Structure 1
Amino acid sequence: MPQQVRGVIARAKGSPVELVDITIPDPGPGEVVVDIAACGVCHTDLAYRDDGINDEFPFLLGHEAAGTVESVGEGVESVAPGDFAILNWRAVCGQCRACKRGRPQYCFDTFNAEQPMTLADGTELTPALGIGAFADKTLVHAGQCTKVDPAADPAVAGLLGCGVMAGLGAAVNTGGVARGDTVAVIGCGGVGDAAIMGAWLAGARTIIAVDRDRRKLDWARELGATHVVDAGSADVVEAVQQLTGGFGADVVIDAVGRPETWKQAFYARDLAGTVVLVGVPTPDMRLEMPMLDFFSHGGALKSSWYGDCLPERDFPALVDLYLQGRLPLEKFVTERISLDSVEKAFHAMHEGAVLRSVVIL
């Protein structure tokens, strides 16, 4: 039977979010109902509310989530009722050209649940990133559930579903940071700090955090940065070069996604170094640079989608490292809040007061 549960929705552009009753259908073929334990408050959810993604209101917000599989539909074999899982928005299809070329981390045809979740009056909801986890329960495709060790704290594990994985993967998967490398990360919010942690995990010898907010730079030090640069008072390119023997960093990660920060990343890298863009630009942003500079600097210019992760490979491995005490993911959880506090969490995030607020259900 369909279930009625609580969920946080964005009904119109810029309007405060609302906690309302929503209807979750029984899982159909290939679908799963998940009892949500925790869900992080990500900037992408705010972008949905403010019409920065699309205009398919009303949205059921939330996507950085972990919980317990409650029921599964026909044909589901990857998870079973009672499994503890992290939700992801890359349900690999196995059939597209990327998958068939052995690059499933770039899957071009990921799955979502086919049945809609609705308001009590039958209005269909658009779930954020195909998940919609600011709710007691949600309906997703089975491929969006990655089974992990249930010993993990759900508030910590759920963050791998988006921001932490995006940043950590930008360093490890996309940037290919290796032991002994020098790394600079521009922008030290949740994604940037996760990139710093990824560089630390990979064994980088120098990790430079760049931001204008001293509080964020302090967080970056706690998460692995060896040096910090206040972008409000220093020339970023010169500072990074000075901290890397005058050469520039081997890998520079732009976690902001603006033309000026991307240029800083480009010129702050060593010859043949790598630039990774993980911050998301807006459609109106433009970049103008001398073409000769692209040729003369060499190296690689990359964009990182979801940290180029493969959830079934990366989530269990990272959770294991966390449980072994080798990856302090708990440092990203600034506060634990209730489901009716999402709007307040958006304000705290906008003010830079938190790395992550996490809704506990």
Structure 2
Amino acid sequence: MPHEVRAVVALKKGAPVEVQTIVVPDPGPGEVLVDVQACGVCHTDLHYREGAINDDFPFLLGHEAAGTVEAVGEGVTDLAPGDYVVLAWRAPCGSCRSCRRGRPWYCFDSRNAAQPMTLLDGTPLSPALGIGAFAEKTLVAAGQAVKVDAAARPEAACLIGCGIMAGYGAAANTGNVQRGDTVAVIGCGGVGDAAIAGACLNGARKVIAVDIDDKKLDQAERFGATHTINSRGTDPVEAVRALTDGFGVDIAIDAVGRPETYKQAFYMRDHAGLLVQVGVPDPDMKVEIPLIDLFGRGGALKSSWYGDCLPSRDFPVLIDQYLYGLLDLGGFVTETIALDQVEEAFAKMHHGEVLRSVVVL
């Protein structure tokens, strides 16, 4: 029978979010019902609230979630009630042209639950990134629920569902950081710090953090940055070159997603170096670089989608690294909050006061 639960919804563009009672159906074929234990507050949720993703209001917000499986639908064989899972917004279909070519991290037909969750009056909700986890329970496709070690604290484990995986994967997967590489990361929020941690765990010998906030640069050192640059009053390209014998870094990661930071990352690379963009730009942003520089400097420019991750492969690895003390997931948790504090968390995030606020249910 359907479940009535409390959840955070965005009813119209730009309006404060509200906690309402919603209806979550029992799982159908290929679906699982998840009791949400914790869910991180991500910039993407704020983008949904502001109508910057699309206008399919009302939205059920929240997508960085960990919890336990309550029930499974017909045909689900690899999950069972009681399993501890982290939710992913990429669940490869296995049959699209990308999956058939052995590149499931680029799946073009990622799976979501087929049944809608609704308001009490029956209005269908659009779940953020196909998840909708600022709720006591949520319904997802079975492929979105990745089983991990239950020893991981939910408020830390949930963060690998989006921001941490995006940053870590930008370094480890898209950037393919190797032992001995030099790396610069521009933007030391949650995604940037995760990229720093990923670069360190993959053997980078020098990891340079770039930001305009000294507090954030101090935090970056916690995750492994060997050097820091405050670019508010310093040319970060020249500063990076000074730290790399005049050459520039092997891999530059733009975790901000602005034309200025993209160009900084482009020019702070060594010849034939790699630029990885993981920061999400606004749709109207443009970048202009002389074509001769694109040609003459060589190397590669890559965009990192969700850290080019395969959740079923990568989530358990990151959780194990956390449990072994190698990845400081707990360091990303600035505060834990209740469902009715999400709007306040958005304000703190907007002003750069937190790495992550995490809703604990």
Separation of aligned partners in 2, 1:306 and 1:232:
28
Unaligned residue ranges in structure 1 (runs of 5+): none
Q: CA offset at residue 130 of structure 1?
A: 0.3
Q: Which residue of the partner structure matches residue 336 of structure 1?
A: 336
Alignment map for 1:257-296 (pairs within 5 Å): 257-296=257-296
Alignment map for 1:104-143 (pairs within 5 Å): 104-143=104-143
Alignment map for 1:142-291 (pairs within 5 Å): 142-291=142-291
Q: Which residue of the partner structure matches residue 89 of structure 1?
A: 89
Q: How big is each residue's C-alpha offset from its partner over 1:134-180, in whole Å with a ceiling of 9 and x where there is no partner? A: 00000000010000011110111110000000000000000011111
User: Identity of paired residues, percent?
Assistant: 69
Q: Which residue of the partner structure matches residue 51 of structure 2?
A: 51
Letter in 1 for 2:4: Q
Q: Secondary structure at the match of 1:71?
A: strand
Q: CA offset at residue 282 of structure 1?
A: 1.4
Letter in 2 for 1:105: W
Q: CA offset at residue 104 of structure 1?
A: 0.7
Letter in 2 for 1:257: G
Letter in 2 for 1:277: Q
* Count of equivalent residues: 361
Q: CA offset at residue 278 of structure 1?
A: 0.3
The TM-score with structure 2 as length reference comes to: 0.99
Separation of aligned partners in 2, 1:94 and 1:111:
10
Alignment map for 1:63-74 (pairs within 5 Å): 63-74=63-74
Q: How big is each residue's C-alpha offset from its partner over 1:92-111, in whole Å with a ceiling of 9 and x where there is no partner? A: 10001111111111111101
Q: How big is each residue's C-alpha offset from its partner over 1:225-263, in whole Å with a ceiling of 9 and x where there is no partner? A: 111111101001101100111000000000011111100
Q: Secondary structure at the match of 1:44?
A: helix
Q: Which residue of the partner structure matches residue 315 of structure 1?
A: 315
Once superposed, what is the RMSD of the aligned Cα atoms?
0.6
Runs (4+) of structure 1 exceeding 6 A deviation are none
Q: Secondary structure at the match of 2:95?
A: coil
Q: Secondary structure at the match of 1:37?
A: strand
Question: Quick check: 1:13 aligned with 2:13?
Answer: yes
Letter in 2 for 1:122: G
Q: Secondary structure at the match of 1:247?
A: coil
Q: Secondary structure at the match of 1:280?
A: coil
Separation of aligned partners in 2, 1:45 and 1:305:
17
Q: How big is each residue's C-alpha offset from its partner over 1:154-209, in whole Å with a ceiling of 9 and x where there is no partner? A: 11111000000000000000001111111000011110110011111111111111
Q: Secondary structure at the match of 1:138?
A: strand
Q: Which residue of the partner structure matches residue 352 of structure 1?
A: 352
Letter in 1 for 2:268: A
Separation of aligned partners in 1, 2:17 and 2:283:
25
Q: CA offset at residue 219 of structure 1?
A: 0.6
Q: Secondary structure at the match of 1:209?
A: strand
Letter in 2 for 1:36: V
Unaligned residue ranges in structure 2 (runs of 5+): none
Q: How big is each residue's C-alpha offset from its partner over 1:15-53, in whole Å with a ceiling of 9 and x where there is no partner? A: 110000000011111011000000000000000000110
Alignment map for 1:71-82 (pairs within 5 Å): 71-82=71-82
Separation of aligned partners in 1, 2:73 and 2:21:
23
Letter in 2 for 1:162: C
Q: CA offset at residue 343 of structure 1?
A: 0.5
Separation of aligned partners in 1, 2:341 and 2:86:
22
Separation of aligned partners in 1, 2:269 and 2:2:
54
Q: CA offset at residue 14 of structure 1?
A: 0.9
Separation of aligned partners in 1, 2:177 and 2:245:
18
Q: How big is each residue's C-alpha offset from its partner over 1:69-119, in whole Å with a ceiling of 9 and x where there is no partner? A: 000110011211110000000011000111111111111110110110000
Q: CA offset at residue 332 of structure 1?
A: 0.5
